Structure 1
């Protein structure tokens, strides 16, 4: 072919244009016309289409008779008769009898139009020239090609608008069109999840990858294809519906709306030969207006008015001459000078490169520079980066200092290709490598750029094939669910499907995994869901229903050891949840809700439920055995029965202050009844120590939660770790949380009940020791030392808050130093030495005091009893307000007992004041913890005048002000008191009166004042 028409062409050549919409058989006719001549050439708009036509022609005439030339692929036998090329790659100077150019309307394309225009004006076959395209270019061809004949062909099938449809509702054999790779991938993924998968076709794919993807669609393995507008240029597939996911595209400079002609070109792929097709929109694309729809259906479009043109007769004398020739104006009306394409922009940048400018001198050097500038930007990078790569290539070509002057060094070329020769990575990584190798494939196909171009063509082609296969595999893995697509294909063919359940519970349909049986519930594979999910479920239900019924019968006959109750209230069987606890009549009698689907019949459901309820009943009876025995005890009667009932209702522990009246009224025989069943009467709690072990404690917590939440999902905080004696309290926990676990909230800490009682046992001898030594040592009270803190696992402010919540308050005083205890050999065990063991939270035994307060030894005191302190159970408000007025019957203690407590505190205060000016030797300052003084009622502090005692809070004059510390003796006093007689007064120790309790008033042997009163009476 020559760039200018020969005399024979002008005189005898038959030039004609076959115009019309898509699906008119234009390309097919052109191929048939070409094969009717001895030689021929056809230029196609896309390399993908060129490859498709090449394969068709090769099958007709044989591989040795046809050549394929695209930008990066050249298959040229020795003497080809036919040439299949892209329009840009049509070889110059090859004479052929027949020549055709497809999609000639692309003369108006801003980017590539000048190439098509050049072919329209100058490319001719010696016997026949044929232009194929849309009827919109008829007028421009008539103006530029004199004597051209025109032929109009109608569309074989009808094309109609089908409106907007969701992607999940698109009909089978649909093509979805998008205009960016991100959008293509997103739509393909959505179709995979809902419809089994989609093939992917984009212009950036290699022919090998594209053909493999199209084959998946054509074979019926998938019913959908997601593509760019590449399918609008002659790709022939069996498409029934084309859906536009967008009606805008980026044309290289900005996003613009598609024209009606462009929409029709792409939509025309729907309906092949005599089969009608439809088109519409999907996703976020707006609906088409009525005028556009009518134009597309009737194939009426505005004619092309201007064709892109660029001078092809370039002057390579110098760079300036080259630029001038590129900027020449069009030679005829109806032609527009094309904007600078990628090659022209790259040329301008290379001309300013310091490596290129000194080399681009002379005709050959400038022509070589223009050849390099025409290397396509397959990578789609910034023009600066593309120009830099081309400058490197040109620099190598123009060097004369190598083994092969004027050639690209093979070691450099090899290093560039090896960077791409990897098949790992995701879709984008492989696509990027494929774009790079396409650049080097293009370079290798320039015969005069490499020393051995044939070898390097084979190397680059092999790398491209490997990358193409890897990309096809990744696309298939990512966007095609072969399992679902195969099943859907079988369902569409209305074939019966074989289903089975494996030993591991996997449900298989036709050998493909569609779900899993978890206990008595079928869990479908999410990938099997979608429009045809019901059909898949129907196939699986046949085998699933029978298996679930068989499992229910196995559950009904199973032993207790086959089941497990979790801390969240679920019942496990064979590692699957088959039921959960729900609220019953009381905390110890929860019900069971079976976890199953609708497949299970009522009779099997009832039998399995009853079996699980029996398991739960037996499990509770085993783990909470002490509590169950107490509940069912026949020998616990009278008042003891009432206390036992309260313990069972609370699942094993109640606060002593909440049952003060009942406890006070209990006689020793009643207490013995309860102790027989493991009940311990502590200073702060009445509880069953055996239930403090982790297993029963966690079960009690669960039973509380189930009863409190009804049928709601049980969601509890994490309990303290086993073995902890106390833990910081957490906010927003249920009221039953810590008590159920066997802890009591004491200020900032939750303390285990048994450790709280051990703390009381440890405090008792300390209080008694100071009380025996007298007021010079501070009197009744104790010092918080490390031994006490270690019992509850906290110190500092946390321990102070704990004591305050128990009814103690700190007082800083100066007292005599405590004498050191003398070692006693073979001493008998102390009264508070542990004689029996109670379990700690880890399940191990911990020491207990020799006897509980008020039990075996009624005279043994609690920590408060030794000081006159109110016991923790005396007031329900102790933890929040230690000074609150007690509300229990134990307020009715004798005035003598109260006086004894006050006297002990007043004595220590007076001693501290009297010793303020004394010699400091033998003195120490301590923080003494004392019980909170009982509220005297609304009249303020109780007056002691009637008892002949001084008012310790007002001084001798009775006015408020409190004791005077460190400033000498108190002044004044009430008549009858030790300080009576005016100023000064008696500096000796105060005398305390103690009256025994009234005989007509019963006193609780656990009273916090009883023992102290007796100690004072003895003294």
Structure 2
């Protein structure tokens, strides 16, 4: 028989050719059910499943069989068979035969199978060949008498240029040719647009079907796929974007030709709806000529089909290999390159164990049958050949595949844990054994293994679909986007802790009147936020109504300046022209609008004003006082501006000028005129101090300054003094109720108590009895344990504090001090031992408020005895080596001394504006005894001496430590003719 006679005639064969979206497959289905029986071959198992489903809908499942390499559904007496091309019978008695996508006959890997079916398979009544118009010349050449029908595309396909992946329109398919690239694009789309379905040839049909359904049902608007979508998948795609234009065809990387590009791009547009295509990613814009060819469907015709001889010689391995290498004798056919089965045979023919067994025609044919096992795992030809060798050995030796071996292989694949790549590998492995179970005669119990492998593959496919969806689809976003497209009213639910659920999906957190998206970015985040905001519109209005009716106990003001409602921030404070009336800025999304927004803002402003007026009531009262006049009103204004604390030396003149009535009018508002400060004691509590600090920080951008909020806990803990931190803003000490005094800061009210202790010591008259502890000569004093106790300070701290307050120390020895005090009391005492420690400088426990200084006792006659205790007495052998500590006698400093000391202890001026208080001036209370630094200077070094002269007016004005807050008496010029002048002259004469 000649080679030409083996090719059937083209008579009775109709080629229905044309581009995509011409209805060819639909036409074939209609023609098949018009016959009493039929067989249709399709290029993909996925497409075969789709056509099978459509046929079942038309004629019933009992009339349709599905036969693929991995699946077989064969009802008894089924009239129609849907197959993959590889699974089509070599001969048939069916009335109708159709072969789809016949242009694949030119494919290097699978082409020879399509060519064989085109040339040798016919229906009794009708045969249809479906494919691209490029097949017309070669079909007319190989099949004389064939009828060709060309069908035009039902919609237009237009070029849309190049766009970024994130700018692609909805209902787009992005095409790439490697799994890594497909996954990378899908991940990008998930982050930017909510999610994408994924279709690859390596996925199982069930997984691909599930991913396609995800796209078709509108859960996602994007499909990322390989060229698998070009093989007849019917998708609602509006735009096809090429992210790659090169692919590996099994032998080499090459550019796609125009016909292949058109086959894929043609999936855009359905029925009469136009579609578009373009480039994206790193693909260059298409050239004009290429665009024109794709849009007009004009491509170079297919001139050669891949062919492999079907006349195989099984007499020996060598004869089989030679028959496979036979060349075609007809032009238009080319011998196909070795496919997977032929490559496996080449390897196996070199295995000694195979050569020893394959000695008969039957066994050689069985070997060739085993070589047809598909390489689903995409492993090397040698590894694939090893598996075939194992199966073939079992078939020859036992007539069946060893089921224990198969059970172990199936067990290894039966795990649904792992990620995408792991599950894909297991699916490929189980598909291999599904194929084995469907081979007739290979297993003792094929039905059991068909069910077992099918069940495992389905579970693995479902798990893979779940992993793909979880990784590449934001289910929350996809559901919301779908509902938005349907213009449906979204159902929102808000939990008690503010979690927002829309359509059952957690979308974010509602805090007060602000909605925060849980996750996402880009366009999908905006869409989800818009959906949530739309669903939350009623909730915003309801919350506004509840806040407007809320009591003050439901609102709170935090140290950060945030107003919280039931714990959630709803507003923040900002500076205004008046420090006591900060501005309220609402923290709310734009969805809180119109009257609801105004009502919320008004309610919060009322709360803030109420809170400030309540917590800072003394300050608020004095700011609104209408009965204050003149200097009293001015002093009250300064007190409010300085948030309740004035350094007395800053307002010395004003205070001196106040009469008793004016002072009384201010005192009734809780103002205290202290020795060092004029202040409101009620504001020295933690809550008022915290609020005062906040108001100052708002006015002076101090929320981020060091020290803010760190001093209030010390005030709340009852600390009377604290170690200062040089990095803190000094103003915070004053606002928190402390006076900054060098290395230590002392609470303001405690300083006034210190002044109460110092005042009687400076008022004491030498020679009078009893002498108060710490009094020296009526103009100087020593630090006492009571002072240390109320300050919570050590002797060294006390020295720092007194210097900061403007006192200056005169140094005398312990012997001189003891002798002077004894002379004032009219008694004599022994000089103090050389080792005696001055009581004023002894280390004192700050909590020892009621104890005397160690080593000092006061007798009834006023004499001072100084006998060290046993604990304080140094060892005898060291007494002579220890030098006695001097006694510090403190006195109010002069202005010149205070100015010099202020460089270290006082506040500094910055830009001409006072930042704090210059330390070194002390003011006494009303009725206090006048102390004169001039007299102290005259008496310095003269124990028991008396004042010899009055200081002049200038000295009286400049003294820094006076404790009388009354205005100084001003000396008026004396009329020489007045009796007072004569009396003064007489007194002068008497003195002389």
Q: 40, 46, 49: which one pairs with 1:48?
A: 46
Name the structure 1 match of 2:104.
106
Q: Deviations over 1:474-499 (max 9, x none)?
A: 666735546435533533xxx8x598
Name the structure 2 match of 1:116.
114
Change in CA separation of 1:213 and 1:728 when aligned onto 2, cut-off 3 Å: farther
Change in CA separation of 1:553 and 1:96 when aligned onto 2, cut-off 3 Å: closer
Name the structure 1 match of 2:86.
88
Q: 139, 157, 161: which one pairs with 1:160?
A: 157
Q: Distance in 2 between matches of 1:875 and 1:219?
A: 81
Change in CA separation of 1:707 and 1:868 when aligned onto 2, cut-off 3 Å: closer
Deviation at 1:299, TM superposition (A): 1.0
Q: Distance in 2 between matches of 1:33 and 1:347?
A: 40
Alignment of 1:557-636 (within 5 A): 557-595=549-587, 606=598, 608-629=600-621, 631=623
Kept after mapping to 2: 8 A contact 1:653/1:686: yes
Q: 346, 353, 362: which one pairs with 2:357?
A: 362
Kept after mapping to 1: 8 A contact 2:808/2:891: no
Alignment of 1:686-697 (within 5 A): 690-697=682-689
Name the structure 1 match of 2:874.
none
Comparing 501-510 with 149-158, which one deviates more in the overlay?
501-510
Comparing 294-303 with 997-1006, which one deviates more in the overlay?
997-1006
Name the structure 1 match of 2:905.
878
Q: 389, 398, 404: which one pairs with 2:393?
A: 398
Q: Distance in 2 between matches of 1:441 and 1:237?
A: 28
Q: 426, 446, 449: which one pairs with 1:453?
A: 446
1:998 is aligned to 2:970? no
Q: Distance in 1 between matches of 2:724 and 2:566?
A: 38
Change in CA separation of 1:737 and 1:1010 when aligned onto 2, cut-off 3 Å: closer
Q: Distance in 2 between matches of 1:454 and 1:87?
A: 24
Change in CA separation of 1:717 and 1:181 when aligned onto 2, cut-off 3 Å: farther
Change in CA separation of 1:895 and 1:762 when aligned onto 2, cut-off 3 Å: closer
Q: Distance in 2 between matches of 1:801 and 1:127?
A: 118
1:420 is aligned to 2:414? yes
Deviation at 1:134, TM superposition (A): 1.8
Name the structure 2 match of 1:26.
24
Change in CA separation of 1:899 and 1:371 when aligned onto 2, cut-off 3 Å: farther
Q: Secondary structure of the equivalent of 1:564?
A: strand
Q: Deviations over 1:231-290 (max 9, x none)?
A: 211122444544445545454577654332122112222344455444445666554332
Q: Secondary structure of the equivalent of 1:588?
A: coil
Change in CA separation of 1:660 and 1:202 when aligned onto 2, cut-off 3 Å: farther
Kept after mapping to 2: 8 A contact 1:26/1:132: yes
Q: Give the superposed CA RMSD.
A: 6.6
Deviation at 1:228, TM superposition (A): 3.4
Q: Distance in 2 between matches of 1:542 and 1:557?
A: 24
Alignment of 1:848-997 (within 5 A): 865=891, 875=902, 878=905
Q: Distance in 2 between matches of 1:542 and 1:43?
A: 51
Deviation at 1:467, TM superposition (A): 3.6
Change in CA separation of 1:663 and 1:532 when aligned onto 2, cut-off 3 Å: closer
Q: Tell me the number of residue pairs that the alignment of Structure 1 and Structure 2 aligns.
A: 867
Alignment of 1:406-445 (within 5 A): 407-410=401-404, 413-414=407-408, 416-417=410-411, 419-422=413-416, 431=424, 433-445=426-438
Kept after mapping to 2: 8 A contact 1:30/1:130: yes
- TM-score, with length taken from structure 1: 0.65
Comparing 607-616 with 124-133, which one deviates more in the overlay?
124-133
Alignment of 1:340-355 (within 5 A): none
Kept after mapping to 1: 8 A contact 2:750/2:790: no
Q: Deviations over 1:884-942 (max 9, x none)?
A: xx9788599958868999x9xxxxxxxxxxxxxxxxxxxxxxxxxxxxxxxxxxxxxxx
Q: 132, 135, 148: which one pairs with 1:151?
A: 148
Name the structure 1 match of 2:872.
none
Q: Deviations over 1:418-476 (max 9, x none)?
A: 64343x66666655554443333234334455443321210121122234445555666
Change in CA separation of 1:401 and 1:516 when aligned onto 2, cut-off 3 Å: same
Q: Distance in 1 between matches of 2:663 and 2:448?
A: 104
Deviation at 1:147, TM superposition (A): 2.7
Q: Distance in 1 between matches of 2:632 and 2:309?
A: 114
Deviation at 1:618, TM superposition (A): 1.8
Q: Distance in 2 between matches of 1:432 and 1:670?
A: 95
Q: Distance in 1 between matches of 2:368 and 2:253?
A: 30
Change in CA separation of 1:446 and 1:562 when aligned onto 2, cut-off 3 Å: same
Q: Distance in 1 between matches of 2:432 and 2:759?
A: 92
Q: Secondary structure of the equivalent of 1:151?
A: strand
Q: 457, 470, 478: which one pairs with 1:464?
A: 457
Q: Secondary structure of the equivalent of 1:722?
A: helix
Q: 708, 711, 727: which one pairs with 2:700?
A: 708
Q: Distance in 1 between matches of 2:327 and 2:461?
A: 43
1:72 is aligned to 2:70? yes
Change in CA separation of 1:534 and 1:81 when aligned onto 2, cut-off 3 Å: closer
Q: 132, 151, 158: which one pairs with 1:134?
A: 132
1:722 is aligned to 2:717? no
Kept after mapping to 2: 8 A contact 1:103/1:132: yes
Deviation at 1:586, TM superposition (A): 1.5
Deviation at 1:650, TM superposition (A): 2.8
Kept after mapping to 2: 8 A contact 1:184/1:227: yes
Kept after mapping to 2: 8 A contact 1:444/1:453: yes
Kept after mapping to 1: 8 A contact 2:808/2:892: no
Q: Distance in 2 between matches of 1:698 and 1:366?
A: 96
Q: Distance in 2 between matches of 1:734 and 1:108?
A: 84
Change in CA separation of 1:405 and 1:296 when aligned onto 2, cut-off 3 Å: closer
Deviation at 1:567, TM superposition (A): 2.8
Change in CA separation of 1:313 and 1:888 when aligned onto 2, cut-off 3 Å: same
Kept after mapping to 2: 8 A contact 1:874/1:887: no
Change in CA separation of 1:577 and 1:819 when aligned onto 2, cut-off 3 Å: closer
Q: Distance in 1 between matches of 2:800 and 2:335?
A: 90
Q: Distance in 1 between matches of 2:687 and 2:202?
A: 65
Change in CA separation of 1:604 and 1:358 when aligned onto 2, cut-off 3 Å: closer
Kept after mapping to 1: 8 A contact 2:507/2:532: no
Name the structure 1 match of 2:259.
261
